């Protein structure tokens, strides 16, 4: 289904950072009693930055389009969550849900364009749709929890994209 690749110590470091960021996002309502949504947004902005730094090792082609799109969407959602005080709660929930739907549409287009990475994009479509539906239909739950969980899931998605990406190894340094 998905091609396995060898991980280096540096890969493990990036993945550990993203797991910590996702954990903080999931626990944001417990860590910050006053307004935890900006904390989850900050974790998403940091995750997008880590993803962009990691993308320098990408092998190229559609992999670049995918990582920059994912990092860009994560950055936008993170910045919206950081500015959550400027939005009404339900409006922010619907806006972030629509962004997840737009990202699902982007991954659908990438799945049809790229046969080699089709499975990875289909998985991204399914996960984006699941998070969008979670946000859209959890109207009875506190918005703080819904957005924090959505942020954590998005960070895990960034990590998944990093894990499944084709990257340059040290042996490829001669060719670059």
Query: 58, 51 in Cβ contact below 8 A?
Result: no
Q: What is the per-residue pLDDT for 156?
A: 92
Q: What is the per-residue pLDDT for 20?
A: 95
Q: Bridge-partner residues for 167, per DSSP?
A: 58
Query: 50, 74 in Cβ contact below 8 A?
Result: no
Buried b (16+ CB within 10 A) or exposed e, 123-141: bbbebbbebbebbbebeee
Query: Among candidates 112, 114, 94, 113, which has minimal Cα distance to 102?
Result: 94
- Is pLDDT larger for residue 116 or for residue 77? 77
Q: What is the per-residue pLDDT for 89?
A: 72
Q: Bridge-partner residues for 48, per DSSP?
A: none
Give SS3 for 167: strand
pLDDT tier for residue 1 given thresholds of 50, 70 and 90: very low
Task: Please report how many Cα atoms fall inside a 13 Å half-sphere around the Cα of residue 92, on the Cβ side.
Answer: 25
Q: What angle do CA 145, 150, 156 make, to 5 degrees?
A: 130
Regarding pTM above 0.85, the answer is no
Query: 15, 160 in Cβ contact below 8 A?
Result: no
Q: What is the per-residue pLDDT for 84?
A: 85
**Average pLDDT of the chain?**
83
Q: What is the per-residue pLDDT for 136?
A: 86
Task: Give tens-digit pLDDT for 140-154.
Answer: 778 888 899 999 999
Task: Give tens-digit pLDDT for 11-61.
Answer: 788 889 999 999 999 999 998 878 889 999 999 999 999 988 887 766 566
Q: 61: left (phi > 0), else alpha (psi -120 to 50), else beta?
A: left
């Amino acid at each position: 289904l998905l091609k396995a690749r060898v991980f280096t110590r540096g890969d493990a470091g990036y993945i550990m950072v993203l797991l910590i960021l996702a954990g903080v996002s999931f626990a944001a309502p417990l860590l910050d009693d006053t307004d935890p949504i900006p904390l989850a947004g900050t974790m998403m902005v940091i995750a997008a930055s880590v993803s962009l730094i990691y993308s320098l090792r990408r092998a190229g082609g559609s992999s670049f389009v995918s990582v920059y799109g994912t990092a860009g969407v994560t950055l936008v959602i993170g910045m919206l969550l950081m500015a959550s005080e400027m939005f009404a709660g339900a409006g922010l929930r619907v806006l972030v849900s629509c962004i997840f739907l737009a990202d699902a549409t982007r991954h659908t287009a990438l799945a049809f364009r790229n046969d080699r990475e089709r499975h990875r994009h289909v998985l991204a479509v399914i996960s984006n749709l699941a998070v969008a539906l979670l946000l859209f239909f959890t109207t009875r739950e506190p918005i703080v929890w819904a957005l924090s969980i959505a942020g954590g899931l998005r960070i895990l998605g960034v990590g998944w994209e990093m894990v499944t990406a084709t990257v340059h190894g040290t042996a490829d340094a001669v060719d670059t």
